Structure 1
Amino acid sequence: MTKTSAPKILSDADVDAKMSTYVPASLPAETWEAWEDEVADMARAAEPSSFQDLTYVLGSICAFLAWSTPTHGDDDLAAQVTPDQITRYLAVLEQGGTATGTRENRRSQLFRVQRGLAGRPARKAIARGRSPFAPPYSPAEVAALRAIDAPSVTLAKLLALLDDDSTAAESVVAALEGIATEAMCREFATAGLKFDRRRWRPTWASRLVRNDLDFATLARSHGFSRNDCERYLQHHPAAPGTIDQLRG
């Protein structure tokens, strides 16, 4: 039986300590003074695991509320964090040209808040002894896929993503949507592999990271998200950069 352990969650005292020094960039000082306690409760609902995680969550909440409250008021801030509202907010960010990585981070953090406020676990338990991120396919495994005779259009498209240094995260996400899993499973089985769509994005990310490209550069040029960086570091600890570089 696989054992799971609950993710580490900051204590209320730790959250209070952070709140005493936190100053949001997206809200006026007088607004923050009025909202601080309610925002703190919303952040606790997201079950932040570290001070850094809490900082990102607070930033996402404040930016979201700066967008939502002009329309919905500020009588009940938590009630505004709904799936529909989050989706509308993310669409506005996309229309405004916000980077893919930043939008993905905001989506993840806001839905954690929403789940927590709804009384559901905000974060999934992690299986002990296993990485929370799916590993990339190795160069040898990718080579086995390339050796398949007459690959399908879909497989050829996925492999082409790895060959184009200009490919951005949005292209990878779009290519993975709607893939016929059974068909992919058959092709991967031909190469002696098991198809797992979760492994293709980290495979793409792994092939982009080079000694002359740090994560901040990749965030700007290819839409790398914080999760892309965390996935990479999980399996390639010696890397040119850290996730601390990203402040999206």
Structure 2
Amino acid sequence: MEKDSLFDRRSVLKSIGTATAGLSIGGQATASPSPREIYKQGLKIREQTGKRGPFEEYILNRGFSIAQQNSETFAFGEDAGAIGIERVERDDLTLHASVYTQDGVSYAHGDWYVERDLSDAWNDYDDTGYPPKDIVGIGWEHSDYDIVWDTWESDSFSSKRVATTNNVAWEFNDEDAHHYYAGDGDGINFQGWADVELTPTEDISNRSIIVNYQHTWVGGSVTGVSFDGSGGMSIGVSLEAKKWDSPRQAYSSDT
């Protein structure tokens, strides 16, 4: 046995009671993980499972609490004014906004979910979205939080587009997101998530975050991203690109 190759069993038995100096009963204490370490491990579970539930269960069982939470499902029917084929209609989208907190630090979590029906001839597995990449943002009232600048995002993101003192925006690869989150049965489900670490200001009791999603299609490029003072987001696109007239937003408030 490997243990016996390191210690002579008979020598150990003979030494009991006569050579205990320096022996620490109970072993060496292990440091508890920090809130950030717990949260990052939870996000790994979020990415592996493609679900928010196991992630929340993990962090809540380790001292986190939910400060605020809200979901918005946009079921407006068909967009009569849409130009071209959108792939992701506004009524396909569910946005979710959450803030989790522990020991004076908050983590704003935004996620979104799109389910598309394969009975639609346009909805094939190999073409979930159209370029250019969509823009997703998490914003807040400037006076509500101080940004810590640590951010995390799902694998379906291309890059962090821009960050300011009250908003972070990412590029989301909606063309390829289905490769990470394939649905069951007759639908294609794809989703993504993004997080930013924040410190609540001491003099504000009612704080809010906004999760913004701006969908683009047809081609071209995103030419700019701008924010307002309350955390709202808007984008500009090149002439050949199309976008929703306004981003979809999930608004979550801690009252």
How would you bin the TM-score normalised by the shorter chain?
A: under 0.3
Structure (1 or 2) with the greater strand fraction:
2
Given the two structures, how large is their TM-score scaled by the length of structure 2? 0.22
Larger Rg: 2
> Which structure shows the higher helix fraction?
1
Please, what TM-score do these two structures have when normalized by structure 1?
A: 0.22
